[in-house]
Structure 1
Amino acid sequence: MSLPIEPKKLSKKLSDGLHGKLEFDFANERGHSFGEHYMHGALNEILASNIDHHKWALEPNYAAPELQGDGANAGRKRELDFAVTTKVAGEHRSSINYTDREIAIAIEAKWAASTHCNDENILSDLCRLSLIAAGERPVACLFVLAGPKSSVKNILRQGLLGPRGAKNQRLLHAPPRDSASHFSLTTTGGQHGLLNAKQVERLANKLPSMPPKVSTRPSMPGQLDTPNWSVFAWNVFAPGKDSHSRDMAAK
């Protein structure tokens, strides 16, 4: 299955497009409306404009089967913020059978100034994307972080997202550093894990299974020294599926 759009191109469109909209609306005294709902609306517009709607379906709050586990889940299903999936011929929007779909794009997004944007919730998003990326089919898995410049900077410094080791390795490298990051979540096989026992327990309650490792690479946005707002996007990939080294583009 080819993808609707090449992952590197999509991540740049998302980061540059969202940043441009933030700066434009801020200049027009609309900053009071900024937040996660605003961000999701803008991402929805960008995604909708970059896929062929005859072939693909854009699904906000998508209950991906890969995130539900084997048993029956009580309450609300685990969802991706956005998914682009294959369309089923003759399918009606009100009677979606998720198991008949194939995910081509999976996106999680966080607004840095929101109360639930913290290091553990971001890691949960990255783990969900890692589970999707681990499948046999190619999927563009992206995490987007946006918000006030100072809030984004602070989020990327705290807790699990802060620098580690002599090389200041991070779970999420931010531009201009263009390098992949690989972190084992638990201590196995001689590799020191990122999480302690309590963090593992909390994370396990949010996932159908724990990915052994989280691998990310930042997209390089059009502007790095932004005046008011920061928008960064990361590709989340399984080992050997880094989109920078493997062509996953639509043919």
Structure 2
Amino acid sequence: MTEQAPSSSQVKVKRDIGRLIAHGLASKLTFDQACMRAALFNEIYLHGTIDEIVISNISTADLWVRPGYAQPQLQDAPGARKKTGRSRELDFFIIPAADRTGRSLAMEVKWTPSRHCSWGNVVFDLYRLKLIAMSEATTDCMLVLSGPRDGVTKLRDRVRAESQKRAIDRVCEPGLVLRSTGSKTGSGGHCASR
């Protein structure tokens, strides 16, 4: 018996894509660490693995995956003094294909051992995701934190502590969902989704 696709052109990303990314990413990093490839780990390495997981779990006829997507809401307002350099980009933006309608998914990715993964940059990404969620009612947002468990736990604890002082709770409503996987010295995958 074969499963038939819905007759409408309404499409959506799997509800459990965050769980699939967290488990798949942690498993892949643990495997690669066992194969002595830990020196290769960085945010770009994570992008390749996440791209594989997402592409394997969506219909590419219904949804398009846009890595490094220059989201219009993140750019300077028309008439404002333009910033120089590259456009502001999301790590991933998954959108319905041209002839489809449905929910989109904006995703930012951080590798905790990176110098780029500072507290300020994580907060900046959370606010960028919140801006997108507020401006596009049909877009869900996800922050993926990955790295050695100690680094991710420390960052997660700081998010929780700072959320008492700032509006971060409103960024992460209905709650920050973090899953802990990986070894103490190895790689862990954590996904936060709205």
With structure 2 as the length reference, what TM-score do the two structures score?
0.80
Specify the alignment match of 2:133 in structure 1.
133
Does residue 184 in structure 1 map to residue 141 in structure 2? no
**1:103/1:67 CA distance change after superposition, 3 Å:** farther
- Unpaired segments ≥5 residues, structure 2: 1-9
Specify the alignment match of 1:215 in structure 2.
172
Specify the alignment match of 2:187 in structure 1.
229
Give, as a single letter, the amino acid of the residue that structure 2 aligns with 1:54: A
After TM superposition, give the deviation of residue 24 of structure 1 in Å: 0.8
Specify the alignment match of 1:78 in structure 2.
88
What is the count of residue pairs matched by the alignment?
Answer: 179
Specify the alignment match of 1:176 in structure 2.
none
**1:42/1:225 CA distance change after superposition, 3 Å:** closer
Which of the residues 36, 39, 43 maps onto 2:43? 36
Specify the alignment match of 2:150 in structure 1.
150
Determine if contact 1:12/1:220 at 8 Å carries over to the other structure: no
Specify the alignment match of 2:124 in structure 1.
124
Specify the alignment match of 1:55 in structure 2.
62
Specify the alignment match of 1:163 in structure 2.
161
With structure 1 as the length reference, what TM-score do the two structures score?
0.63
Determine if contact 1:86/1:102 at 8 Å carries over to the other structure: yes
Residue by residue over 1:101-159, the C-alpha shift from the partner in whole angstroms, topping out at 9 and shown as x without a partner, is: 9870100010000011111100110111111111353222100000012222233344x
- Unpaired segments ≥5 residues, structure 1: 90-100, 165-169, 172-181, 186-193, 195-212, 237-251
Identity over aligned residues, as a percent? 30
Determine if contact 1:148/1:230 at 8 Å carries over to the other structure: yes
Which of the residues 15, 20, 23 maps onto 1:16? 23
Give, as a single letter, the amino acid of the residue that structure 2 aligns with 1:52: S
SS of the aligned residue for 1:120 comes to: helix
After TM superposition, give the deviation of residue 49 of structure 1 in Å: 1.0
Structure 1: distance between partners of 2:37 and 2:60: 31
Determine if contact 2:65/2:92 at 8 Å carries over to the other structure: yes
SS of the aligned residue for 2:142 comes to: strand
After TM superposition, give the deviation of residue 220 of structure 1 in Å: 5.6
After TM superposition, give the deviation of residue 67 of structure 1 in Å: 1.3
More helix by proportion, 1 or 2? 2
SS of the aligned residue for 2:135 comes to: coil
Determine if contact 2:64/2:94 at 8 Å carries over to the other structure: yes
Give, as a single letter, the amino acid of the residue that structure 2 aligns with 1:16: H
SS of the aligned residue for 1:233 comes to: strand
Determine if contact 2:181/2:190 at 8 Å carries over to the other structure: no
Structure 1: distance between partners of 2:103 and 2:75: 15
Structure 1: distance between partners of 2:189 and 2:98: 34
Determine if contact 2:25/2:189 at 8 Å carries over to the other structure: yes
Determine if contact 1:11/1:219 at 8 Å carries over to the other structure: no
SS of the aligned residue for 1:214 comes to: helix
**1:103/1:10 CA distance change after superposition, 3 Å:** same
Does residue 87 in structure 1 map to residue 85 in structure 2? no
Determine if contact 1:60/1:83 at 8 Å carries over to the other structure: yes
Structure 2: distance between partners of 1:162 and 1:137: 26
